[in-house]
Amino acid sequence: MLIQARAFDAALGDFDTQLDPLLKRIYQARGITDSTALERKLSCLPAPSVMQGIPAAVALLVSSLKQQQRVLIVGDFDADGATSSALMVLALTAMGYQQVDFLVPNRFDYGYGLTPEIVDLALEKAPDLIITVDNGISSIEGVAHANKLGIQVIVTDHHLPGASLPEAAAIVNPNQPGCDFPTKNLAGVGVAFYLLSALRAELRKQNWFAEAEIAEPNMANWLDLVALGTVADVVPLDQVNRALVYQGLMRIRAGKCRPGIQALLTIAGKSAHSLVATDLGFALGPRLNAAGRLDDISLGIQCLLTNDHQQAMLGAQQLDELNQDRKLIEQGMQREALAIVEKIPLSLDGEVPVALCLFQPEWHQGVVGLLASRIKEKYNRPVVAFARGDGGQLKGSSRSIPGLHIRDALDAVATQNPGLITKFGGHAMAAGLSLDEDKLAAFEEAFQTQVEKTLDEDDLLARMVTDGELHCHQLSMPTAQLLRDGGPWGQQFPEPCFEGLFQLKQQRIVGEKHLKLVLAHESEPNRGIDGICFNVDTEEWPNYRAETVRCVYRLDINEYRGLEKLQLLIQHIELIN
């Protein structure tokens, strides 16, 4: 493991002189060059009118509202899709739509996106208008089928488009060709929020709310959903997404969130008033995602939609139970995957191949994405994990490492090997694909070849990048609070982490494989600092011969029984003496 500090140029940047020097250095290392890039007010966001497709979509939505047409939201089966679907239903209903419903078909029966089969299923609800959320940009056949049936379609999505676009009545996606929207990193729920904000502005302009005698909705009421979906979908936290997430967090901390989000917080043992972005990603997101992975994401959407606190708690409990089942399934699959990798012939340098393709017939196709992520983290290799689908097809989920745009890699493989991949789509770091089972070996060879062309030895070297060392006086609650307030932190705007040498005073295992520690900074040996390192190798730790350790850690505020105390969240620990 190579540990290195982030580079920054102290000469760059126009910051408020009152900004703490540590925080200034951290921002500079993340490419922030002036204080305006740190703005988190909604007023700093780019206008919705800049996003291509919004004017056409708004015009269609206004017409649909005045005719009180039946509107059907077709979502995706993850946390982004769930929050997007709930946001659309809640906001459209608040604006006066009287016939709004949602449909998120079972992923195992209907696959991803607005397929012709899903359009046929939607016919049971007799929609006049379909709005996709977090999907649709690749649904060429599904949109064509809807058009043939006389159903108009508005596509709202954030995924990268293919060579052709669906012939929808309107497409709202900052990643579509010709769109000048300044950020391409919105999650699906962010795109939906922008469209709904533009719709409300147009309805206000047309005096709709006064004439209809309904209260004009405050879009900020749903920023809790936007924050949850944005963080859970692991999109880059650029300035726009940081502002959206920050404002959503502020509402949750103030107790102004959906009953379903409050229930999920309660189930997860998280306090709303001290919530941070990582809690959304690691505590709430997985519980919503578990429904889509194992059962039906409609459970999650209903939990987010309900205004009844008791129903929300029942829904959150169901989601938690599904998440526990998901963990057990994932653990078994992970053991099998590690056994497969251990049997792969190593290179002359003792290294695993530059890319890993893994398949077991019994694997759960709803969990292969998580499996790919875990194996990628362990070996620092691009990973594609497959499970059996229907009709002799394999469903694959891939995760990448810095330096390899995984969707572009799959595109290259598909272009160079016509007919090899049935379909694919995704982002830079994660993508999905389907192929015939008898083509797995050919795909693995083609994928390996493409990755070898793209990555070099340096890309394959596992790294931990830190923000350097802290002085002993900075290991404090005020510093931890400073860093907490300096966020939100997340994808491509990583939470600050530090490195240093510590004397190891106490160590013990808690919760089966978590290492609880008491450490002391070398320059202040008599002051003990609590630390915890999750999921350690219990064959290596505790190590009672250890006296000095090198740690990579984050500062955390541990709250227990109403008391707050500094704690180091240790991401890497190694013996020095």
| Topology adopted by domain 44-319 | inorganic pyrophosphatase (n-terminal core) (3.90.1640)
Write the CA distances from 394 to 227, 387, 562, integer angstroms: 33, 6, 50
What distance in Å separates the CA atoms of residue 127 and residue 113, rounded to the nearest whole number?
17
The pLDDT value recorded for residue 35 is 86
User: Is 344-454 assigned to CATH 3.90.700.10?
Assistant: no
CATH of 465-575 among 2.40.50.460, 3.10.20.30, 1.10.10.10, 3.40.50.620: 2.40.50.460
* Whole-angstrom distance, CA of residue 132 vs CA of residue 166: 12
Q: Is 345 exposed, middle or buried (0-12, 13-18, 19+ CB in 10 A)?
A: exposed
Using CA atoms of 80, 110, 318, 134 in order, give the dihedral in degrees to the nearest 10: 10
* Beta carbons of 485 and 273 less than 8 angstroms apart: no
Separation CA 78–CA 325 (nearest Å): 17
Question: Would you state the pLDDT for residue 237?
Answer: 96
pLDDT at 11: 64
Residue 144, exposed/middle/buried by CB under 10 A (0-12, 13-18, 19+)? middle
State in Å, rounded, how far the first CA of the chain is from the last one: 18
Stretch(es) of the chain classified as CATH 2.40.50.460 = 465-575
Across-strand partners of 502?
521, 549
pLDDT for res 215: 96
Angle in degrees, CA 107, 110, 114, rounded to 5: 100
The pLDDT profile of the chain, 577 residues, written as one tens digit per residue, is 678 888 777 666 677 667 899 999 999 999 998 888 999 999 999 999 999 999 999 999 999 999 999 999 999 989 999 999 999 999 999 999 999 999 987 766 776 789 999 999 999 999 999 999 999 999 999 999 999 999 999 999 999 898 899 999 999 999 999 999 999 999 999 999 999 999 999 999 999 999 999 999 999 999 999 999 999 999 999 999 999 999 999 999 999 999 999 999 999 999 999 999 999 999 999 999 999 999 889 999 999 999 999 999 999 999 999 999 999 999 999 999 999 999 988 775 678 899 999 999 999 999 999 999 999 999 999 999 999 988 889 999 999 999 999 999 999 999 999 999 998 887 888 899 999 999 999 999 999 999 999 998 888 888 899 999 999 999 999 999 999 999 999 999 999 999 999 999 999 999 888 999 999 998 899 999 999 999 898 889 999 888 999 999 999 998 877 788 999 999 999 998 7
Chain-centroid distance of CA 309 in Å reads 26
The CA distance from 249 to 556, in Å, is 18
Q: Locate CATH 3.90.1640.30 in the chain.
A: 44-319
Residues near 158 by beta carbon (within 8 Å), at least 6 away in sequence: 134, 173, 174, 175, 186, 187, 188, 190, 191, 235
184, 427 Cβ separation under 8 angstroms = no
DSSP calls for 431-462: EEEEEEGGGHHHHHHHHHHHHHHH--TTTTS-
- Ranges in the chain annotated CATH 3.10.310.30: 344-454
How is the chain split among helix, strand and coil, in percent rounded to 5? 45, 20, 35
285-294 vs 223-232: helix crossing angle, rounded to 10:
70
Q: Give the pLDDT confidence score for residue 392 in this predicted structure.
A: 86
The answer to whether 566 and 475 have CB atoms below 8 angstroms apart is yes
